Structure 1
Amino acid sequence: MKKEISVSVIIPTYNWPEALNLCLQSVLTQSILPDEIIIADDGSKQDTYDLINNIKQKSTVPIIHVWQEDDGFRLAQIRNKAIAKSSKDYIIQIDGDVILHRDFIKDHIRFARKGSFVSGSRVIIEKELAERLLSSRTFNISIYTKGTHSKLNGIHLPCLSSLQEKYRQNDILYVRGCNMAFWRNDLIQVNGYNEEMTGWGREDNELASRLINLGIEKRIIKFAGIMFHIYHPMRPRTSVNKNDEILQQTITSKATWCTKGIAQYTEDKQ
């Protein structure tokens, strides 16, 4: 397959270098490599910096480390900073605690289409298996590995993906920030993530809502774009009510722009 679009992979992380290591190794062994990797670091400590620096020296793919001080959960802000640093046409957004199927990037490139953004799903790695993979630094995994569930999300039949692209298309809550892809210019048009949303939850839904309000179609990638999510305890969700209110305002007002977004980092490039 010939790669006809340039690709940035953006990977948020926070103080979990063991998981980030497996994630990066799975990116760097893809059947089609991205053109750049941008790590969106929400305030990790020195051990994460050392890991990234070590992998960067060996990688054939440029790795850019974007870091901000640890001041609470500011995922929207660090993603905006990473997007601003990106230079490629298409952004594939994952998380730093996932392991990618070998054809993950290939599948997303095949599925990309102008005028749309994409959300995928994930297979869950249960706690015991996650601990074993992290301790052994192994990222070889499939739906046949004992200790995975949501296995239907791991069936790889990319020839069927187009048949399922409208699955739950009108459900704005059905997006997975750990498995999304966008045209960079579309993100700039809606001013990226809304940084009024801090703490866990809904920042991906709110962004998706503004893209849809702009006329960008949501498409779901099934039977392709497969990833495995490493178990971790649930994060505090005390911010969800506030973020839900912002999301509802965006939906009700049909907003396409947020006031506090990516423009503050990209104005000098426009």
Structure 2
Amino acid sequence: MQSNSKASVIISTYNQPEWLALVLHSYSIQTENSFEIIIADDGSNEQTKAVIEKCILETELKISHVWHEDNGFQKTKILNEAILASSSDYLIFTDGDCIARQDFVETHLRLRRPNYVLSGGYFKLVKSVSDNISKEIITHQHCFDKDWLIDKGQPKSFKFNKLTKSKAKAQWLNKITPTKATFDGMNVSCFKSDILAVNGFDERMQYGGEDREVGERMMNNGVKFRQVRYSTICVHLHHERPYKNDEARVLNEEIRKTTKQKKIIYTNFGIKKA
């Protein structure tokens, strides 16, 4: 399927319609508008559908809603469906709780290179700041402004460098950061052909590192990873993580250990089933 869009932004979500409304607003004011949005919805109720339909009516965004019934944590499965639903050759993955700075899509596209994954990060907002975020705040980009954030209760730290507007500073920080470039689903991009080559996400994976594993297979397949955490900017809304559980973590660690030790490049539990 050919597309006029330069990128497909795949946004994963589950029953957080208020957050999703804010996140979608951040994409309606991007400096680059040649992209489509695929909502990878892991079984949300009608409220999420209503937010998406409202956004389609009120903005110029091209949005597809990929949904399946709620049957526990099946994020990897819905992400694979979203990959298949995408119509451009470049994919940007993010989450429905990450608000994108205006140059987010433009920067991912500017830095893309064949046979590379761009590994971004996020700036985590404290609860008092998250509670102050509105569409108006996003429109004025205050949530990416150090002074506004401090005023609303964000503690001062080195992490404010993650919001730099200087391309030269971002480039330097990307180079010296000790943080390893990995496939983190809240801010990562790649060519569609590279993720299809390893058969997408492993659908056995539960919460915790499920996105890292597909990146490890891509690395085993010769794809290089580039650190862009100070260039592709998004802020992460505060929330608890009640869905964390040790059983899932152990299962995921076992799968990832096998992927690394055996240098596995292709999963039989991905887009195409064995």
- Counterpart in 2 of 1:153? 162
Q: Counterpart amino acid of 1:26?
A: S
- Counterpart in 2 of 1:232? 239
How far apart are 1:155 and its partner, in Å? 1.5
How far apart are 1:131 and its partner, in Å? 1.7
Equivalent residues of 2:180, 2:227 under 8 A apart: no
Q: Does 1:194 align with 2:196?
A: no
Q: Secondary structure at the match of 1:91?
A: strand
How far apart are 1:166 and its partner, in Å? 5.7
How far apart are 1:168 and its partner, in Å? 6.8
Q: Secondary structure at the match of 2:269?
A: coil
Equivalent residues of 1:116, 1:216 under 8 A apart: yes
Equivalent residues of 1:23, 1:96 under 8 A apart: yes
How far apart are 1:177 and its partner, in Å? 1.5
How far apart are 1:160 and its partner, in Å? 4.7
User: Which of 215, 225, 231 pairs up with 1:208?
Assistant: 215
- The whole-number CA distance in structure 2 between the counterparts of 1:169 and 1:81 is 34
Taking a change above 3 Å as real, the CA distance of residues 170 and 19 of structure 1, as seen in their structure-2 partners, is closer
When the two structures are superposed, what TM-score results if normalisation uses the length of structure 2?
0.87
Percent identity between the aligned chains?
32
- The whole-number CA distance in structure 2 between the counterparts of 1:114 and 1:160 is 24
When the two structures are superposed, what TM-score results if normalisation uses the length of structure 1?
0.89
Q: Counterpart amino acid of 1:230?
A: L
- The whole-number CA distance in structure 1 between the counterparts of 2:167 and 2:5 is 19
| Runs of 4+ with deviation above 2 angstroms | 136-140, 146-150, 156-172
Taking a change above 3 Å as real, the CA distance of residues 125 and 70 of structure 1, as seen in their structure-2 partners, is same
Equivalent residues of 2:117, 2:225 under 8 A apart: yes
Equivalent residues of 1:7, 1:88 under 8 A apart: yes
The RMSD of aligned alpha carbons is 2.3
- Counterpart in 2 of 1:82? 82
Gaps of 5+ in 2: none
- The whole-number CA distance in structure 2 between the counterparts of 1:137 and 1:108 is 24
Taking a change above 3 Å as real, the CA distance of residues 163 and 142 of structure 1, as seen in their structure-2 partners, is closer
List aligned pairs for 1:21-36, cutoff 5 A. 21-36=21-36
Point out the more displaced range, 232-241 or 10-19: 232-241
Q: Secondary structure at the match of 1:207?
A: helix
How far apart are 1:89 and its partner, in Å? 1.2
Equivalent residues of 1:93, 1:178 under 8 A apart: yes
Q: Counterpart amino acid of 1:127?
A: K
- Counterpart in 2 of 1:253? 262
> Aligned pairs, how many?
259
- Counterpart in 1 of 2:272? 263
Q: Does 1:66 align with 2:66?
A: yes
- The whole-number CA distance in structure 2 between the counterparts of 1:166 and 1:81 is 34
Equivalent residues of 1:169, 1:219 under 8 A apart: no
Q: Deviations over 1:99-138 (max 9, x none)?
A: 111111111111100011111111111111112226x774
- Counterpart in 2 of 1:243? 252
Q: Counterpart amino acid of 1:63?
A: I
Taking a change above 3 Å as real, the CA distance of residues 170 and 23 of structure 1, as seen in their structure-2 partners, is closer
Equivalent residues of 1:8, 1:34 under 8 A apart: no
- Counterpart in 1 of 2:128? 128
Point out the more displaced range, 221-230 or 144-153: 144-153
